[in-house]
Amino acid sequence: MKPVNTLLAVSVMATAMAAATAYADTNIRWQERTHNFGTFNEDLGKVSCRFTGVNEGTDTVFITETRSTCGCTVPKISTNTLAPGDTINVDVTYDADRRPGPFDKKITLVCGDAGREILTISGKVKGSARSLSANYPHKYDHFRLQNPFVGVGNIIKGHMGSAILLGINDQDYTITPVIEDLPKYINAICQPDTAAEGDNFIFSFTIDTSDSQAPFGLSVDSLRLSIKEFPEDIITIPMTYIISEDFSKLSREERRKAPMLTIDGSSIDFGRIDPTSDTPLKRDILLVNPSDTTLLLRRVYTFDKNISVSIPDDKIEPRGSMNLTVEVIPSILKDQDMLNARVNIVSNSPANHQATVRVVGEVIKPE
């Protein structure tokens, strides 16, 4: 056991020495390490400040690299060699053009084996009308948003999905953005809780698809976004996401034995529809499971308000079949020229997991 303990001790000491070397004291003493520009108008353009330091050590400090958080922040050093007692000036310029909102940027001076120095600039840019329109083009009563919707994309069932919604307070008062009435499997957090004039805010969303209420297929939820200070002013933001089943771990043999979904045709045609009638019209399409394994219909749905869809059961036995029924009330179509809708079918068939049936018809116009 002794050799193991010795090796472990040497490893810990080496790690500690490496950390100490990376962050050693360079002996540069700064008048200030941070500078806050405060709040200023974007039209001011580039703003600059100077950091001044003195090498109070007994060794020469060599600055081997200077870097910043992003290209918007440009540092310029007066020298890269500091003998004992020498002074260094670091001029930092921040370009506020098209960057409304708060900022916090780091400037790092790498001083070889002596370690590194980190300086910080911060402030808040009050965006110009042009910049706000370009970066947050969607204007509402109390704020602006970068996008008018939240798109999550595809999520494998049982996994977590995530997305963000970016906004900015373009008013001269503080706001507290809130989102209410979410499905219980969706969580939303706003950071910061409140946004002062010119502040950005970010809604972070997580979708827990392991929840039994999280539906397979495409979903479009309506997010109710409001301001706590003005609760009557509510806007609706759509959120879209697709929840799919994971078949990636199935072996070739498991896929061969998996349930299958075949559809007898690709569309349902109602033909000519009389919009003066209130009598419902119904058409069927046959769903078939030609496999030796039970087919589960995870979800059958449509987003078209002109039709309704129904199935007698949520599974099809091996070598079995089932009718899917679509119903139309003709009078609903009186202001339309045609019926063109879709029915979506989600099943546990790896070969045909998400299928679509078109529903069409011609609306007769009175002479």
Last residue of some domain: 222, 244, 266?
A: 244
Is 103 within a domain?
A: yes
CATH number, residue 171 = 2.60.40.10
Distance CA(6)–CA(100), nearest Å, equals 55
Distances (CA, A) of 314 to 220, 296, 297, 340, 346: 22, 6, 5, 25, 11
285, 228: one domain: no
End-to-end CA gap in the chain: 98
Domain that holds residue 19: 2-126
CA 37 to chain CA mean position, Å:
31
48, 152: one domain: no
pLDDT at position 5 over 70: no
73, 144: one domain: no
Is 131 within a domain?
A: no
178, 162: one domain: yes
Query: What's the structural domain count of the chain?
Result: 3
78, 100: one domain: yes
Last residue of some domain: 126, 158, 193?
A: 126
236, 188: one domain: yes
60, 122: one domain: yes
Whole-model pTM: value is: 0.76
User: Helix/strand/coil (H, E, C) string of 191-204?
Assistant: ECCCECCCCEEEEE
287, 197: one domain: no
Tens of pLDDT along 298-323?
Answer: 999 999 999 999 999 999 999 999 99
Is 142 within a domain?
A: yes
Last residue of some domain: 95, 126, 157?
A: 126
79, 186: one domain: no
What local confidence, expressed as pLDDT, does residue 2 receive? Answer: 42
Mean pLDDT of 215-243: 95
pLDDT at position 81 over 70: yes
106, 31: one domain: yes
